[in-house]
Amino acid sequence: MTDPQAPAEGAQAVDSTVGSAVDAATPGKGNGPAGATAAASAATSVAGTSTTIEAAAANPLRDPRDKRLPRVAGPCVMVLFGVTGDLAKRKLLPAIYDLGNRGLLPPGFSLVGFARRDWKNQDFAQLTHDAVKEHARTPFREEVWKQIREGIHFVPGEFSDDGAFDALAMALKEIDETRGTGGNYAFYLSVPPKFFPVVVEQLKRTGLADAPPGSWRRVVIEKPFGHDLKSAHELNEITTSAFPESSIFRIDHYLGKETVQNIMALRFANNLYEPIWNRSFVDHVQITMAEDIGIGGRAGYYDGIGAARDVIQNHLLQLLALVAMEDPTSFEAQSLRREKEKVFKAVRLPADLAANTARGQYAAGWQGGQKVVGYLEEDGIPPDSVTETYAAVKLEIANRRWAGVPFYLRTGKRLGRRVTEVAVVFQRAPHLPFSKDDTEILGQNALVIRVQPDEGITVRFGSKVPGTAMEVRDVSMDFAYGESFMESSPEAYERLLLDVMIGDPPLFPHQREVELSWKILDPIEEFWATQGQPEPYPSGSWGPPSADAMMARDGRVWRRL
Partner 1 sequence: MTTFMLSDTTAGKIAGQLTLLRHQMGAPAIGMVLTLVVICEERDQYDALRAATEAAREHPSRILVVINRETDEPTRLDAELRIGESTPGEVVVLRLYGELTDHADSVVSPLLLPDTPVVAWWPGKAPDVPAKDPIGMLAQRRITDARMAPDGGVKALATRAKGYAPGDTDLAWARLTPWRSLLAAAFDQPIGKVRKGQVEAASGNPSAPLLAAWLSERLGATVKVSDSAGPGLTTVRLTTPEGDLSVARADARLATLSRPGQPDRNVALARRQTPELLAEELRRLDPDETYETAIKRLARSYKP
∠ CA 199-202-205, nearest 5°, is 155
Q: Which of 20, 45, 160, 241 binds partner 1 (CB under 8 A)?
A: 45
- Among 426, 412, 422, 411, smallest CA distance to 455 is for 422
Residues ≥6 apart with Cβ < 8 Å to 145: 97, 129, 132
* 337 bridge partner residues: none
| 75 lines the binding site for partner 1 (CB under 8 A) | yes
| 244 lines the binding site for partner 1 (CB under 8 A) | no
If you count them, how many residues does the chain have? 561
Q: Which of 84, 147, 511, 531 binds partner 1 (CB under 8 A)?
A: 147
| 312 lines the binding site for partner 1 (CB under 8 A) | no
| 272 lines the binding site for partner 1 (CB under 8 A) | no
Residues ≥6 apart with Cβ < 8 Å to 523: 349, 353
Question: What does the alpha-carbon distance between residue 16 and residue 171 come to, in Å, rounded to a whole number?
Answer: 11
Q: Which of 107, 297, 300, 382 binds partner 1 (CB under 8 A)?
A: 107
343 Rama sector, left if φ>0, alpha if ψ -120 to 50, beta otherwise: alpha
- Among 225, 372, 350, smallest CA distance to 291 is for 372
The residues in 516-535 that bind partner 1, with binding defined as CB under 8 A, are: none
Q: Among the candidate windows 62-70, 276-284, 334-342, 447-455, which touches partner 1 by CB under 8 A? A: 62-70
* Cα dihedral value 451, 457, 459, 460, nearest 10: -50
CB 141 to partner 1: min, Å:
7
Residues ≥6 apart with Cβ < 8 Å to 257: 451, 452, 455, 492
Q: Among the candidate windows 116-124, 434-442, 447-455, 486-494, which touches partner 1 by CB under 8 A? A: 486-494
CB 77 to partner 1: min, Å:
13
| 430 lines the binding site for partner 1 (CB under 8 A) | no
CB 483 to partner 1: min, Å:
4
A 10 A CB-CB count for 527 gives 13
Rg (C-alpha) for the chain, rounded Å, is 26
Our CB check for partner 1 shows the closer of 150 and 252 to be: 150
Task: Build a one-symbol-per-residue string for 456-485: x at contacts with partner 1 by CB under 8 A, - elsewhere.
Answer: -----------------------xx--xxx
Residue 342: which H helix or E strand, with range? helix 333-346
Question: What does the alpha-carbon distance between residue 122 and residue 124 come to, in Å, rounded to a whole number?
Answer: 5
CB 111 to partner 1: min, Å:
14
Q: Which of 1, 8, 69, 269 binds partner 1 (CB under 8 A)?
A: 69
| 503 lines the binding site for partner 1 (CB under 8 A) | no
Task: Build a one-symbol-per-residue string for 321-340: x at contacts with partner 1 by CB under 8 A, - elsewhere.
Answer: --------------------
Residue type, 300: G
Q: Among the candidate windows 27-35, 203-211, 238-246, 366-374, which touches partner 1 by CB under 8 A? A: 27-35
Our CB check for partner 1 shows the closer of 60 and 369 to be: 60
Q: Among the candidate windows 29-37, 113-121, 156-164, 387-395, which touches partner 1 by CB under 8 A? A: 29-37
| 70 lines the binding site for partner 1 (CB under 8 A) | yes
Question: What does the alpha-carbon distance between residue 461 and residue 477 come to, in Å, rounded to a whole number?
Answer: 8
| 60 lines the binding site for partner 1 (CB under 8 A) | yes
Q: From residue 303, how far is each of 86, 281, 292, 539, 541 by CA, in Å?
A: 19, 41, 18, 18, 21
A 10 A CB-CB count for 275 gives 9
Our CB check for partner 1 shows the closer of 70 and 467 to be: 70
| 177 lines the binding site for partner 1 (CB under 8 A) | yes
Q: Which of 3, 15, 19, 34 binds partner 1 (CB under 8 A)?
A: 34
Residue type, 176: D
**Is 315 part of the annotated catalytic residue set?**
yes
Spatial contact of 110 and 62, defined as CB atoms under 8 Å apart: no
Q: What is the 3-state secondary structure (H, E, C) of 441-500?
A: CCCCCEEEEEEECCCEEEEEEEEECCCCCCCEEEEEEEEEHHHHCCCCCCCHHHHHHHHH
Q: Among the candidate windows 61-69, 85-93, 191-199, 359-367, which touches partner 1 by CB under 8 A? A: 61-69
Handedness of CA 32, 38, 41, 42 (dihedral sign): positive
How many chain residues are in contact with partner 1, going by CB under 8 A?
Answer: 63
DSSP 309: I
Our CB check for partner 1 shows the closer of 4 and 30 to be: 30
- Residue in 129, 315, 431, 510 annotated catalytic: 315
Just list the catalytic residues.
315
Residues that bind partner 1 (CB under 8 A): 21-22, 25-26, 28-31, 34-35, 38-39, 41-42, 44-45, 48-51, 55-56, 58-63, 65-70, 72, 74-75, 100-101, 103, 106-108, 141-144, 146-147, 150, 177-180, 182, 479-480, 483-488
